[in-house]
Every structure is written in structure tokens, then in C-alpha cells.
């Protein structure tokens, strides 16, 4: 049996329908991923031809960070925007460009083990890797690596809710990792 090399985190979904500052949100979330020490890749940006209802955008982000020579954290963000329309709003006497849209944000991550492929390709090496992951580093994996990866992704999720100014934007776990 092949050893478990990828340990996925829970998938978090945010859906919002209303007015928000898409430009600011796009940059703030992107900068957050970079500030957390992740390598950032915008894998896909699909902007479809706008219709009368509005524009449709598909964005996929990947981020990865080397934690140890054995462990890597990954974060995946998928944006889907429908009926995206520009609005001009006067706020504090100044004109501001905002957007009205239906948004779905899907955020998940994973902990990648043995990203340097130290436990080669042979069956014996794979069996050793399985033993190592299941018994030697199991506690570290559950209590440190997975936990840290998951709660960091949760902070990203909380930031996204804050950018939408959602009612349920609070995060009681803000100080975890």
C-alpha cells in the first residue's frame, strides 16, 4: 500500500451576494498569502465576455510553503464570480468604485509529506515511509503540521469574510498559530 503523502485539510466555503470592494479584496488576500511566507501562483484567471447580467470570472490560486525538508504546506483558493457589475458609490464625500456580484470562495489546503522524495520509489522504501508517517511522525503531523496548516488557512478564510464585511466574520481562534 502506498504511503499517505498528502494530508488534506477541511474545505471551507464562503458564498456572498452583495456589494464589496473586489479590487482591494483581491490584493489584500493575495498579499496575505505572500506575507505568510507562501509562494504564490495564480494558476487560472478566466474572464468571460460580459453579458447583460454582468461579467463572470474564475480565479484559481495555489500557494505553497516549505516548512521542513520533509513537510510542505499548500493552500488552494478557487474564486467564482457571477453577475459582476461595477458601481460608483460616494463614501465620506469621495467617489469609490465597488462591485456587486455573487461570489463563491472555496478554500482548502494540504500538508505534503516527503516532498523531496527521500523515500525513493522501491517497495521497501515505500513501506519505510508508511511506517515513518504512521508511527514516528504521527503526533507531529496531527498536533503541529496539520493543525498549523489548517488554522492558517482558517485565518485566510476569516480575512475573506472580513473583506466582505459579513455578519459572521468573527474568529475566536485568531491567536491559534
Partner 1 sequence: MAEREVIVDKMRITYEGLFDVKEFYKFIDVWFREKGYDKKDVKNIEKVTPEGKYIELELEPWKKITDYAKNVIKLRIFMTDIKEVEVEQDNKKVKLNQGKVHMVFDAFLETDYENRWEMKPTFFFIKTIFDRFFYKPYTSGYQANVLNDVNQLAANVKAFLNLYRYSGISWSAPGTTFPKQ
Interacting residue ranges for partner 1, rule: CB under 8 A: 10-19, 154, 157, 161, 164, 166-173
CB of 175 to partner 1, least distance (A): 10
- Rounded Cα distance between 165 and 6, Å, is 33
Q: Which is nearer to partner 1, 61 or 154 (CB)?
A: 154
Q: Which is nearer to partner 1, 80 or 169 (CB)?
A: 169
- Rounded Cα distance between 87 and 99, Å, is 6
CB of 22 to partner 1, least distance (A): 16
CB of 29 to partner 1, least distance (A): 15
Q: Which is nearer to partner 1, 32 or 164 (CB)?
A: 164
**In terms of Cα–Cα distance, which of 174, 155, 164, 153 is closest to 25?**
164
CB of 104 to partner 1, least distance (A): 9
Q: Which is nearer to partner 1, 108 or 115 (CB)?
A: 108
Please report how the helices 22-35 and 146-163 are oriented relative to each other, as an axis angle in degrees rounded to 10: 160
Cell numbers 490584493: residue? 27
- Rounded Cα distance between 160 and 115, Å, is 29
| CA neighbours closer than 13 Å in the CB half-sphere of residue 64 | 11
Amino acid at each position: 500500500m502506498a504511503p499517505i503523502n498528502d494530508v488534506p485539510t477541511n474545505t471551507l466555503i464562503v458564498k456572498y451576494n452583495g456589494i464589496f470592494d473586489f479590487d482591494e479584496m483581491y490584493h489584500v488576500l493575495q498579499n496575505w498569502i505572500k506575507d505568510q511566507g507562501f509562494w504564490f501562483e495564480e494558476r487560472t484567471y478566466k474572464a468571460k465576455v460580459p453579458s447583460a447580467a454582468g461579467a463572470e470570472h474564475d480565479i484559481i490560486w495555489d500557494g505553497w510553503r516549505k516548512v521542513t525538508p520533509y513537510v510542505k504546506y499548500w493552500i488552494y483558493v478557487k474564486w467564482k464570480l457571477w453577475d459582476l457589475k461595477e458601481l460608483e458609490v460616494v463614501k465620506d464625500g469621495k467617489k469609490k468604485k465597488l462591485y456587486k456580484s455573487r461570489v463563491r470562495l472555496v478554500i482548502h489546503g494540504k500538508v505534503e509529506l516527503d516532498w523531496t522524495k527521500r523515500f525513493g520509489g522501491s517497495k521497501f522504501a515505500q513501506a519505510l515511509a508508511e511506517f515513518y508517517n504512521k508511527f514516528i511522525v504521527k503526533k507531529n503531523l496531527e498536533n503541529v503540521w496539520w493543525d498549523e496548516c489548517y488554522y492558517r488557512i482558517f485565518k485566510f478564510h476569516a480575512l475573506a469574510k472580513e473583506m466582505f464585511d459579513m455578519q459572521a466574520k468573527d474568529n475566536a481562534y485568531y491567536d491559534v498559530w
